[in-house]
Each structure stands twice: as C-alpha cells, then as structure tokens.
Structure 1
Amino acid sequence: MFFKGWLKACIGDNAKAFCASCKTEFIAHRKSIKEQRNCTKKHLANINKEKEVIHTPKMDKFVKPSISGKRKRAELKIAAYIAEHCSVNAVDHLGKVIGDLDPESEILSKIKLHRTKCTGLIVNVLSPCMLHDLIDDVNHSYFSLIIDESTLIDTTKVMCVMIRYFSKKFRKTRTTFYRLIQLENGTAEHMTTCFINQLNEDGLNIDKLVGIGVDGANSMIGPHNSLSSRVLALVPHLIVVQCLCHSLHLAAENACSSLPRHIDYLIETSHSWFSTSAKKTNEFADLFKTINQRMPKKIPKLSGTRWLARFEAITIIIDQWDKYKLHFEMAKTKYRGSAGYKAEELYNIFRNNENKLYLIFLRDALKDVIHVNKLFQSSSIEPFKLFADLNTLMYSALQKIVVPAQLHKVKNQDLTKYDFKNYTMATDCINFGYYFNELCGKLQSNQNEIINIKNRCKEFLIKLAEELQKRIPKNMQILEKISAFSPQNAKNETKIDDITAIVVAFERILSDIDTTLNEWSLIHRAEINADTSDEFWRAIDLIVDSAGQKRFSNISKLALALLTVPFSNASVERAFSIVNIVKDKLRNKLEVKTIDAILRVRFLMENKCDNFEPTPLMLKKFVSEVVYTGDISDEALNIMEHCDKILNSNMEEL
C-alpha cells in the first residue's frame, strides 16, 4: 500500500529496485526501500508534486470540445425542416424524440436543439448564408424588384421585396424572395428611403436595376410623389410595370356593373349560404347524391380584391343549377326568419332561367381574360411572347363587338388606342356564344326580354373593352418593345421588329449603340437550337471570337437584362400568403427578422429540406457567438475557427 505508485522493478537487474518518482535505482533491500520512502527529501518532494497533479482538474473541465461536424449537419437539417414546415416551438419535442430514437448513436444521442437555438440557427446561420449566396449569384448582373407593402396581424407594416434576375448558377431567369423590410409608416418617402438603404446595405447597385413591379396603389404607382416616381428619378432607364393581374381583375369587375346587380348577389350569397353551415352543406350533398350518384362540387371562396375568382364559382353554379333550385325550394319552407327569407330570394333567382343565361354569357366572356391572367401569374412563362398573348386578348374583346371590316384596318400596336365605339355591330349581329344561343332557343320568355338581355351583355362587352384599353396601355408598350427580342425574331435575317428605340432607352448599360445594333443584325448567323429565351440568350452570351472576346456582349447583356422585367405581382402575393401562415393569431409575437429568415429559407432552399445539405459557410458559422447573437465579424469568425482547430488538436494529444 505504501509502495504503490512509485516502487517499480529494475529492468535488467533483479537485485535492484526503481523509484518512479525520483527516477533513480537503489538496492532492493528493506532498509534501503524504507530510507527511500521516509528520508529522501527529493523523493518526498516528488511525491507531493504528484499528489497536486492528481487533484488538479483536467483541462477538459475548463474547455469543452466544439460540436462535431456531423452533429452540426444534423441540427442544421432539423432547423431547415422546422423553417419550411412548422412552428419553431415544435422543435422542443422533436429534438428529444430524435435523440431517443437511438440512444447508442454517436450523433442522435448528442443532439440538443430547442426553440432558442433553433431560432438562432434559422435567423443567424441559415438565412444569412442563403442571402450571401443569393447576392453572390446576382453579383454584377442586372436585376428587377417586385415590391408590395402590407400590414401584419399585429398591425406591423412591412414591405416585401422579391428579386428577379438571370442566374448563371441555375442558367435561367429566377424570381425569388429578397427581403421583408419593417416600415414605420406607409408613405412613399419612407418606403423609398428604406428600399434604397437596404440595397446599399446589401451591396446591390441601384444603377443595375432594370425594372420594378408594383400594384395599383397610389403610393406605389402614382405619377407624383410615389415610390416608383422617386426611384425613377434616380434610375432614368427604369421600367415601371403595374401588375397586369390587378388590372384584369378591376377591368372585369367594372364591366360587370353593366349586368343586373342580382347576378353578383346570386354568386356571393350562394357561396355564403353553404360556407357558414355544415347542416346546409350536408343537406345539399344528400340531395345531389340522390339525383346524380356522386358528391357535388363546393363553390370556392370568393375574394374581395380578386374578382376573377368568381369564374370557378360561376362554372359550378351553372353545372349544378337545377339542384340548387330544388334545394332552395325545399329550404324556403324549412328555415325560418332571415335564413328562410334568403332561401326564398335565392329560389326566385334560380327558377328564372334568364339569370342562368347571364351566367353562361359571363362564363364564356371571361375565359380569355382568365387565360391571360393565369399566364401572367405563371412562374414559367416566355416573357418575350407575352405581348402576343395580351394583344390576342385585346383583339378578342374588340372582335366580338366591332365591325370586322373596320377592325382589320387597325394595327396590333394600336388596339389600345382604337376608338371602337363608332364601329360597334348591332346587337343581333353579335355572337354571344353557342351555349348562350342554345339556351335562348329553349327559353319561353318573350322576345323583348331576350333582346334586353342581349343588350345588357353587349354593354358588358363594350365596358370590358374600354376597361382593358384604359388599364393596360403601358404594359402593352413595354411588352411590344421587349417581344422583339424573342428567339424567333432574333434568328430571322430580315428582323421584322426594330429595336433601336429600346437600345437608345438603355444606352447607359451599353458600350455603344451602333455596336449593339450591328451585333443584333448578325445574330441570325449563330447556329443555336434553344427552346426558351433563357437558353437562347445565354448561349448567345457565351459565343466568343478567336481572341476569346464575347462576340455579342452588348446585345446579350441587353436581352438578359430585359428578361428580368416583371409583369405581375403574383410572386410577392404568394410571399405574403406564406407570411400570413407563419405569423397567425397563435404566433403573433414573431419578429419581422424571424419571419424574414423563415421566408428566405423556404424560397432559397434549393432541394427542400429532405435533400438539403448545409454549406461549408453554414458549418463555419455554427458557433455559439453567431447562433445566439449573430453579431460577429468574418475576421473574428476565422480566428475562432483557427483557435478551435488548435484546441481540438491539443485535446487529442492529451
């Protein structure tokens, strides 16, 4: 017991012993061993030092080794899943469940992820890294921004900004989320200041801004003291595009004022009758199933700002007209009070087939408008072909009411300015559609009533054409100029459309006007097989001469810049829909910076959470100083990473 730890055998000489403390040899005799233990000062000092070392805490008591790369990857993937799919609070239980799946796992058993840490990973690691990659992808390219402002559930005003640019990484024109900016008020001056400051903070050159897409609010699109007018003063070549989708909704809504008011009442009340009562819905379902042996379609929810949403409701009401009439005939006697009165009103409307005639006309008249509206909302459209689609809509609206001989005299680009009222056809000459005429033949109404209905429908068509002319002239002019850059026209040796006007307008982004026009005249010599405008102009941009210089640098730069011009606010509206899901009544205390980070993760995560892989920059930023504060410079982060490597190396040696 007394000799434990210091008395060892002397290797090579059995007659001697070895003191591990003093590092000395002596005769293996009891007296010598006793003297070595009790009397030698050197031995006693060494023993005391060893005791101090034993009781001194080890280094790992003071310094904790950093989280392993595998654990960082796992926790980042969990945070990405939370940002994409659910509330951050859910991670409190999810992290524990994952850890309990396999207690013996080296990674799963060590996962520690709760609300605070998960929020930190989303806000201070995932989001900044994705924003860094976005800014790096935009780089020095030309870009456009789509802007809208709204008020959140807690009355906080925010401005959502989407960015549209040609991505060299994805090799296509990309529209994605950029920023959610908190506002103090909704004035044009304040919004413009916040907008410009954010661009400068992120290092985006405002001179590279090609266009902005806005809605019809006066603070956004007004000719004086609006956000667009203020930005236009800074960027003279800026293309300001009012959302065409909003314009089409307003045009259809205003045109509907030509029809009897009870038609719109029929659509709205039919929806509200079933949407607020499960009992009424089930009664109608039982009735419909008894007659047709299948379940009925529900009338979709209507929108106060998107009038064209009524199109689906109109189609369903027409298809189920007779069943609705029978249902309300039974309901008017079954229900009392206001419900019974409303059922009687609806029954009186449904039993009058003249009202069905109005709906059939409205359905057929809105088909073209709905088609173009969906095109402008699509994220996979050909921008250079939109002019033809919009022009077709304008022509279709005029063709129904204008004398053909007169309409043929009008050029396509002049349709929005054409004064057609003096050349409208007589009511009897207008074709209101096959189904309209078919129902007219079945009606027992007198001829005067049919003529009155047709006159009201003619007024609708005239009003619709007027509204389209009034609300889309600027879009038509922009689209007409840009459509010249379609691959079909570019490959044509004769070049049907002249691009001189738009080249002069964008002189600031080109080196020389004549050089650009000369390049345009030679593009047809390039043998390129591309299906889309993105592919075509990217291929043109890559063509080089024998010296390695880009042969079509100016014209390709202009075309790729024009590809970024936005034509609707659909993308920013989708972003606000996600905001309303993320920040609802139960999560009304979420800060704007957290919502901004969640939106960025949802939009910019390339492969979604199931295939998401953290980047090296994300793993590098996964340190407590960044996760919990987010306030650390890149230089300090590099120093910390270097020190962490040294510490891990020393810990392995110990």
Structure 2
Amino acid sequence: MSDSDKDSESSANLTPPRKLPKKGGWTRKKEGNTSSHHRQQNFRQQWLKDPAFKDWLLPDTKDVTKAKCVYCPGSSMVAEISNLKVHASTKKHIGNKPGTSGKTQTLTSFGFQKGVVPPNKEKARAEIKLAAFFAEHNIAFSAANHLTDLLKEIVTDSKLIKEIQLKRTKVTAVVKNVLGEGHKADLAAKLQKTLFSVMTDETTDVSSVKTSCIVVRYFDQEAQKICSTFWELYNVFKETVDTEDIPTANAENLYRALISSLSSRNIPLTNVIGFGSDGCNVMMGDIDSVKTRLIRDFPGIIIVKCVCHSAHLCTSEACKQLPEGVEQLARDIYNFFRYSDKRQFDFRNFQSFAAVEPHKILKPSQTRWLSLLAVVERIVEQWEALRLFFIDFTTNREHRAKADVRNRAVAILEKLSNQFYKLYFSFLVWSLPIFNKFNLEFQSEKVVVHNLHVKIRELYTEILLRYLKREYVMRSNLEEIDPKIQDCQLPDKELYFGEPDQFWVHLLKTEDFSDLAYFALSTLSLPHANADCERVFSKVNLLKTKLRNKLIVETVNGTLLAAEATKGPKRDGNCINFEPTKEMYSRMTKDNLYDLKKKDDVSEDVPDILFRDIDFE
C-alpha cells in the first residue's frame, strides 16, 4: 500500500460521514472547527390570526412542532414560518384552494353533500350527545355497554348507528374530558373578560370523601342575564407525594385551592369582586380564615356571609328555647315507623278513621333549611291519628312487641297526650313560615342582592309585630292612608320594572349608559346566599349513591360540568337541543379522552375501542 493510499484511508476514518439536515430538526454545519444548531420550534397560535395563513392553517394534534393544511389532505409540515410560506406558494396548495381553479368549487366538490356534516364529525356529534344524555339524566355509565348494541339491533338501516362505539370507558372519558373540560374552557374564556363573584362550601359524600365545590356568579353576555354556574368540585384531602404537606381543611389550604382553581385557567384574579360562603369559622372568621386572606390579597373585595345560613341559625337558636322533648318527639315518631311496613299499614287505618290525608311522617333534618316546618305541619295534621295509633299499640295485646319498643311507644303517647306539646307544635306552625318565606326568596338563582337590606328589615319588622304593639312599630295609622294622594305615591326609583338585571341589560345596549350598566351588572353579580353550592351537593348525592360509591371526585366533577354544558349558552336547553361546541369537537381525540399518565383517571381498563384522531375543519 502506497503512502497516498494510507493518507486517504486515514483521512476517511477521521472525517465523519456527512449528515443531511432535517427540516425542523437539529442540523449541523461544519465550517472549520465551528458548528451552529437550529432550535426546533412549536406551532404558534398567533399564526392562525395571520391573513396569509388563517384560512388554511391548522395545528397538528399529534405533534406540537408540526402544522397541517386544510386544503391539502394528508399534509404535515414543520411549524416554521418559512415552510408555511413555501407551502402556500406550491401548485398543489393553490390548485386545492377553493375558487382558484377554472370553475367555482362547491362543498360537493370537497366530497361533502350540501348541508351534511362530515361523517367523522357526525359520528363524534352523536357520541357527544349520547354522553350528554347520560350526564344530564344521571344514568350509570355502565348502561352504555348495552345501549349502543341495543341501538344497532333496533335501527338496522343506519350507517351512523353502526359506526357509534360508546361503552362505559369511553362515555366516562367523553363526559369528563370532552363535555366537562370543553364547557370549563368556554366558561374560563368568559371569566377572563368579566367581573365575577365566587361562592364555596364543603360537604362529605356517601363514601366519606370530603369535597369542596366552587360556584361562580357573573353576567353572561350570551344569556344576557346574571348566572350562577358550577365551576369545580375537588377533593379536600387529596393524597400528595409531599409527606410534609399533609392536606387539611384549614383556611390556608382552602384558600390556596380556591386561588389555584382560577389561576390554573389563566383567569385574572383581579376579576374577582365578591366572595360568599356559610358562616363557619374557617371561612368567615376574623383572625385566620379564607375571608381574612381574601381581604389581605384583594383590597376592596366584598365579602357576603350566606344570609340563609344566618337566618337558619337564628331559627335553630330560637327553637332551643323550647323543651328538648319537642324536637325529640318528631324524631321518635319518624324512627318508630321508619323500618316497619306493618306499622305504616296499621297507621293508615287510623288515618282513615280520623279522616286525615294518608300522608307519611317526614324525617326531621338539621341541615335542610325548609324541612323543619314541613315536619311540624305533618305531625300537627296527623296528631289525632297518631294518638289513636299509639293508644292501640300500647294497650292491644295483639301487638307482640318487645319491651324496649313498647316503652318507646309509651313515651311517644305521653307527649301526644300532653296538650302543651301540641301547643308548642302549633306555635311552630304559626312562627316558622316567615323564616321559610325569607329563605326561599334568597335561595333563588335570580338577582335578589339588591333586596337584601330591605327584606331583612321587613323580616325583623314582622317578627316585632308578632309580639309588640303595631302602633309602636309602625308609627302610623294604616286606615288613614289614601293611595290616590300624589305625595304618598312611591318615588320612581322604588317602582317595579321587572328583574333588575334585565333592566340593566337593556341599558347596556345603549351607547350613553353602557358603562353605567356594566358597573351595575358587575355589582348585581355579588353573592347573596350559598344556596347554589348546596344545590351542587344535592346533585353530588344523586350522582354518588351507595350503588355508585366508587365514582372518584374527578368523574363527579366532569359529570357536573357536562350537565351544565347541556344547558347551552342561554342556559335553557337540554340534551335534545344541545349542540357540541368547537372546543368539544377538538377534544374528541385519543390523547384527550384517555390520558394514561393520570393514575387517578377513570380506571385502569383498556378502552373499549380503538379511537383514532379526528381532524375537523
């Protein structure tokens, strides 16, 4: 071998093979001893607003560094501005662009019939609407295992029905990750642009999981009214890998969870103008509470303690002045009939004899605001029938009851035969309705915050009139008032013009008063009670029952959001007229439906079907 051959072989071994540069990837250019690197770029949302790209450009859902063209099927390019400009000038792109060929292209030329939704989108729409039906009507997700097969068996001539694949795993994923997340994304977009109030409360469900719910109250531009909308349900004692940060239901953790829930969706915290909750110390205490932290971090925020909780506490404290046996009698009567169908059947005979309605005895509850009056009224209504029943039960030897059961019946009969107990119950029937009327008015979803001060004064005045002289309270003679006298008529500001938010919505459309109307609508979005949170917990109790006690908080949260989504933008719809939003369609992909990285997701089960990614124009 010659020296020249050795030199060439040596240089071949020392020089690395030349690598062709890849578009959008790292490239290496050798210039002496220096090298330059090209950084890979991600798709930019601002390109969708560029007039040169907005009509045809879409992000690639499989790769954040790629882009797609609407006009060129199967196209995928590196997300760089130079590549986009090159693609826009290609003959293929120009030829596929509508209106650039010799004749005008129609929807049919793209493979679509006029007025017909693309097949993949039509299938997605059907599956989303079926999932919305499950969420709105609180149907167990396992029922989906038979539903689609049943539809295919009944409707044999529908191509769409044959394509639908919706079993338990998928319907759960659609409810959580498409309907729920899609609705929450749309709601977050609204809250980013408007002032709103926040309401929160905690509860413990049937599986002993302590949860907290967040409800937002704001003026909805689409619905053109003040709306209270469910925002989030989260686990208070959620497990964490940080052993030093043990979750507790203290003020700091509840406050951080509330703020994190909003900031995680890029909602400006400066948009929060009001906060409402019940009167518990962790929420409304003056030293260490969620309220003190909100006042510290948001100067000027308006804090409203739930007026219904306050009125209920006043009623409960007043009832404590009555003998303890009054409330115990109501509980003892209910428990005596609760588990015995025979006793309930025998009691119906005495109801017929006493000529009273065959109504059941109601259960007393300390947490239900409106239940106490209903329980008392029912016992007063059935008083004579109850007394006769317990006389028969304690004296008739045919009732072979145990000694403890007979003793309970004797104790109940003694109170029913005591006229003072009947007097106490009659007093409650007379006095409780004013509190119930007050509570009912402020549990409404309508705007009533402007009436709060007036209604409290009226309630207090009515209570005073119950035991004080009317002339002392009213300071005027009602018989001498003439409604036709001009000077005695109400001023214009006190005249009734309908719902106050609708009045300001009308002014919002006028150029001269739009700023004033916006300020008024923001003020009307302040909370007046915590009833919206209580309604959420009622829905949670209907969702998570003894038969469905394995539902995790995330699934319950998604179902609640999905049920809200079926109401539509004007909040008056249902699963029949509900139409999925663009955000929901964009989430009908495998990556969004089945996030396998989340260990606490729907289940560890393999999805029922192989769901391919769908691209929508």
The separation in 1 between residues aligned to 2:583 and 2:119, in whole angstroms, is 15
Residues in 2 aligned to 1:273 and 1:162: alpha-carbon distance in whole angstroms: 39
2:366 match: 304
* Mapped pair 1:76 → 2:42: no
Compute the displacement of 1:173 (Å): 0.6
From 556, 561, 564, the equivalent of 1:603 is 564
Name the residue aligned to 1:391.
457
- The answer as to 2:587 corresponding to 1:626 is no
- Equivalent residue, structure 2, for 1:531: 498
Question: What residue in structure 2 maps to residue 429 of structure 1?
Answer: none
In the alignment, the residues of structure 1 paired with residue 164 and residue 369 of structure 2 have an alpha-carbon distance, to the nearest angstrom, of 50
Deviation at 1:377, TM superposition (A): 1.1
Distance in 1 separating the partners of 2:561 and 2:386 = 46
Q: Report if aligned partners of 1:246, 1:306 keep a CA contact under 8 Å in 2.
A: no
Q: CA deviation at 1:170?
A: 0.6
Partner Cα distance (1:577, 1:219) in 2: 22
Contact (CA 8 Å) 1:79, 1:122: kept in 2 or not? yes
Which one of the candidate residues 267, 281, 284 is aligned to 1:218?
A: 281
Q: If the length of structure 2 is used for normalisation, what is the TM-score?
A: 0.69
TM-fit CA distance, 1:166: 0.9
Gaps of 5+ in 2: 1-73, 75-117, 237-246, 477-489, 568-572, 599-612
Matching residue within 103, 117, 126 for 2:179: 126
Distance in 2, matches of 1:366 and 1:565, equals: 28
Residues 176, 604 of structure 1: 8 Å contact kept = no
For residue 368 of structure 1, what is the aligned residue in structure 2? 434
Distance between the aligned counterparts of 1:305 and 1:530, measured in 2? 36
Does the 8 A contact of 1:142 with 1:209 survive in 2? yes
2:580 matched residue in structure 1: 614
**In 1: Cα distance, 2:525 partner to 2:197 partner:** 6
> How far apart are residue 383 of structure 1 and its match?
3.0
SS of 1:107's partner is helix
Closer/same/farther in 2, CA of residues 232 and 325 from structure 1, 3 Å limit: same
Instruction: Supply the AA of the counterpart residue of 2:143.
Output: A
Residue in 2 that maps onto 1:273: 336
CA distance in 2, matches of 1:263, 1:229: 39
Q: Distance in 1 between matches of 2:299 and 2:443?
A: 27
1:175-229 deviations in Å (ceiling 9; x for gaps): 1101112333211101111111111111222222121111121111111111111
Deviation string 1:283-329 (CA, Å, 9 cap, x unpaired) is 1112212442x751112222133365221111111122111111110
Contact preservation (8 Å) 1:249, 1:306 = no
> What is the alpha-carbon distance in structure 1 between the residues aligned to residue 185 and residue 253 of structure 2?
26
**Could you tell me how far 1:249 is from its partner in structure 2?**
1.8
One-letter amino acid of the structure 1 residue matched with residue 131 of structure 2: A
Superposed, which structure 2 residues align to 1:203-602 within 5 Å?
203-292=266-355, 295-306=357-368, 308-333=370-395, 334=399, 335-404=401-470, 406-408=472-474, 491-492=492-493, 530-544=497-511, 551-602=512-563
Query: Does the aligned pair in 1 maintain the 2:120–2:614 contact within 8 Å?
Result: no
Read off the aligned partner of 2:577 and give its amino acid letter: N
CA contact (8 A) 1:267 1:310 kept: no
CA contact (8 A) 1:157 1:186 kept: no
Cα distance change on mapping 1:257 and 1:231 into 2, 3 Å: same
Q: Is the 8 A contact 1:375 1:381 kept in 2?
A: no
Are residues 380 and 190 of structure 1, via their aligned partners in 2, closer, same or farther at CA, if it must alter by over 3 Å? same
Change (3 A) 1:536 1:619: same
Q: 1:159 aligns with which of 212, 223, 234?
A: 212
Residues 351 and 180 of structure 1: CA distance in aligned 2, closer, same or farther (over 3 Å):
same
Post-superposition Cα deviations, 1:564-588, rounded to whole Å, max 9, x if no partner, equal 1111111111111221222233333
In structure 2, what residue type is equivalent to 1:229?
Answer: T
CA contact (8 A) 1:177 1:604 kept: no
Q: 1:355 to 1:223 in 2, by over 3 A?
A: same
Q: What is the rounded CA distance, in whole Å, between the counterparts of 1:318 and 1:588 in structure 2? A: 38
Q: Match of 1:162, SS?
A: strand
Q: Secondary structure at the match of 1:202?
A: coil
Question: Quick one: structure 1 residues 403 and 630, their matched pair in 2 at CA, closer, same or farther if it must change by over 3 Å?
Answer: farther
Select the residue among 108, 121, 126 that pairs with 2:161: 108
Deviation string 1:336-394 (CA, Å, 9 cap, x unpaired) is 41221111122122122232122111111111111101111122353322332221111
Letter in 2 for 1:321: W
- How much has 1:165 moved relative to structure 2? 0.6
- AA aligned to 1:326 is L
* Deviation at residue 405 of structure 1 after TM alignment: 5.2
Shift of 1:403: 4.5
* Structure 1 residue 399: Cα displacement: 2.2
Counterpart Cα distance in 2 of 1:323 and 1:125? 55
Segments of 5+ residues of structure 1 without an aligned counterpart are 1-59, 61-65, 411-487, 497-523, 545-550, 633-639, 646-654
Q: Which amino acid aligns with 1:533?
A: P
Residue 260 (structure 2) aligns with: 197
Report SS of the residue matched to 2:367: coil
In structure 1, distance between residues paired with 2:328 and 2:597: 57
After superposition, where does 1:21-100 map in structure 2 within 5 Å?
Answer: 68-85=120-137, 86-100=139-153
Q: What does the per-residue CA deviation read over 1:535-594, in whole Å, with 9 as the maximum and x for residues that have no partner?
A: 1111222221xxxxxx23443232111211111111111111221222233333322221
d(CA) in 1 for partners of 2:179 and 2:564? Answer: 12
Does the residue aligned with 1:284 lie in a helix, a strand or coil?
helix
What's the CA shift string for 1:28-80, capped at 9, x where partnerless?
A: xxxxxxxxxxxxxxxxxxxxxxxxxxxxxxxx9xxxxx962221111111111
Amino acid in the other structure paired with 1:339: V
Name the aligned partner's letter for residue 563 of structure 2: R
Contact 1:131 1:600 in 2 (8 A): yes
8 Å CA contact 1:124, 1:629 repeated in 2: no
Distance 1:269 1:155, change over 3 A: closer
**Cα distance change of structure 1 residues 156 and 325 upon mapping to structure 2, 3 Å threshold:** closer
Hey, what's the Cα distance between the residues in 2 that align with 1:255 and 1:238? 33
Cα distance in 1 for residues equivalent to 2:456 and 2:371: 20
Amino acid at match of 2:362: P
Q: CA offsets, 1:391-441, max 9 Å, x none?
A: 11111112223354553579xxxxxxxxxxxxxxxxxxxxxxxxxxxxxxx
Equivalent residue pairs, number: 455
- Counterpart of 2:500, as a letter, is S
CA distance in 2, matches of 1:341, 1:155: 35
2:346 is aligned with what amino acid? Answer: E
Structure number having the greater helix percentage: 1
Partner residue of 1:173?
A: 226
Residue pair 2:588, 2:614 contacting (<8 A) in 1 also:
no
Distance change in 2, residues 1:402/1:277 (3 Å)? same
